[in-house]
Structure 1
Amino acid sequence: MSGTRTVRRAVRTVRAVCSVRTARAAGAVRSARAAGTRAGEPGRGAPRKRPGERERGASSLELAGMLPLLLLVAMAAIQLGVAGYAVQQAGTGARAAARIASRDDFSDDYAASGRAAMSQWTASRSKFSLGGAEDEVKVTTKVTIPSVVPGVDDFGDASRSATMPRD
């Protein structure tokens, strides 16, 4: 029985010591909150603000800082799409012009038919050239790539060729 009493007494002592330490820590946290500091830090004098008040407007500043970069990426993506569209339209115009140029009775109208197959936006910026051998016709179409970036006027030309056998 004496062994059990000793163990019980030791458990009570440990519990008492732990509860005293817990009470001291809780009191330090309460007094630190009242002083506006964290537990264990020297007092700063001013009460702490709530988390929502400390960071009010931070996201607006972050957006304002990132906005030029986001606009630059968006403009680059749009310009890449416009360049791809110009290349596709150059291929369409070249195929249509080569189809007409391969026919003997309509061969003079190849540029007009190539422009008719393209959208008006790219047709006004296109140039057609005719070449080839006796048994085939090769039409090359160049389309100036329009710019969506202010101040930059020239992004080069998109060029595509199409070859058709003569009729």
Structure 2
Amino acid sequence: MRGTRRGAARDGAARDGAAQDRGQVALEYIGFIPILLFVALCGIQLGWVGYVHQQAETAARTAARVEARKPGAGQAAGVAAVKSSLGARVMLSKTADAVTATASIDVTSIIPGLGLDPATATAVMPNDDPKGP
């Protein structure tokens, strides 16, 4: 019988300690949520930067290709090759042998305080215009 009482006393003490720890896991989880959100935002921002750079490459390549075939139409084609909401800017230069297009798109930041440079891409295509520059 004596052993039973000691066991009961120990169980009661264990229950009292568990009651004191109640809610600790919830507090730890709440403290960790901002870190998880920040990591998620960084992942989204990284994906957005990659997407905007790819779109700048598409705009530059399209502008150079169209300008090499149809002079005067390259800039509009480069801008039209990407979503209008991105606000792509395309600049062209020509030589007798090649057409060079440079596209630039501003990268918006979803992480507060993060300043990002615009995505810039350059493409060069052979000049197919028989009239030259």
TM-score by length of 1: 0.66
Deviations 1:70-127 (A, max 9, x none): 0110110000000000010001101110011112xx32232211111112232x1x22
Q: Matches of 1:149 and 1:166 in 2, distance apart?
A: 42
Q: Matches of 2:25 and 2:83 in 1, distance apart?
A: 43
Deviations 1:13-51 (A, max 9, x none): xxxxxxxxxxxxx843x222333x37xxxxxxx744178
Q: Report what 1:109 is aligned to.
A: 73
Q: Percent identity?
A: 34
Question: Is 1:33 aligned to 2:7, yes or no?
Answer: yes
Unaligned runs of 5+ in 2: 129-133
Q: Matches of 2:2 and 2:85 in 1, distance apart?
A: 76
Cα root mean square deviation, aligned: 2.4
Aligned counterpart for 2:35 among listed residues 59, 65, 69: 69
User: Matches of residues 18-167 of structure 1 in structure 2 within 5 Å?
Assistant: 27-28=2-3, 30-35=4-9, 37=10, 47-49=13-15, 53=19, 55-103=21-69, 106-122=70-86, 124=87, 126-152=88-114, 154-167=115-128
Q: Matches of 2:17 and 2:125 in 1, distance apart?
A: 72
Which has the greater radius of gyration? 1
Structure number with greater CO (CA < 8 Å, separation at least 6) is 2
Deviations 1:47-78 (A, max 9, x none): 44178755432321121010110011011000
Contact 2:103 2:121 in 1 (8 A): yes
Q: Report what 1:8 is aligned to.
A: none
